[in-house]
Structure 1
Amino acid sequence: MSVANKVRSPCVSICALNEEGVCIGCHRSGDEIMSWMQLNNDERREVLRLVAEREKKALI
């Protein structure tokens, strides 16, 4: 799969993990960040779904 077809990283260049091990910038866990390059598009979409849930909770 070409780079153009890969699901893009949600990284916003604010890289710091909170006390729960989740990035305050992109809302991915440390493990999700480290494994991102090896994930296929379906796995990346699942991470993005989890990111959306975490982001929503952070806004509450």
Structure 2
Amino acid sequence: MKPSTPCIDICQIDPASRLCTGCLRSIDEITRWGRMTEAERLAIMAALPARRPAD
């Protein structure tokens, strides 16, 4: 089973980090998501928590 998308429908790219402020993926990751393997998706999902900015 492939992991679901981390998209939360808040689609804005932060100019400084170049990551989506909603899902924390890069533009490249967002555009390639549908063509990625399960392993690639899982690797990105695992990396997302570390991308969250500190409060």
TM-score where L is the length of structure 2? 0.88
Identity %: 31
Distance in 1 of aligned mates of 2:47 and 2:12 = 18
Q: CA RMSD in A?
A: 1.0
Q: Is the helix fraction higher in 1 or 2? A: 1
| Higher RCO (Cα < 8 Å, 6 or more apart) | 2
Q: Which runs of 5+ in 1 are unaligned?
A: none
Aligned residues: 54
Larger radius of gyration: 1
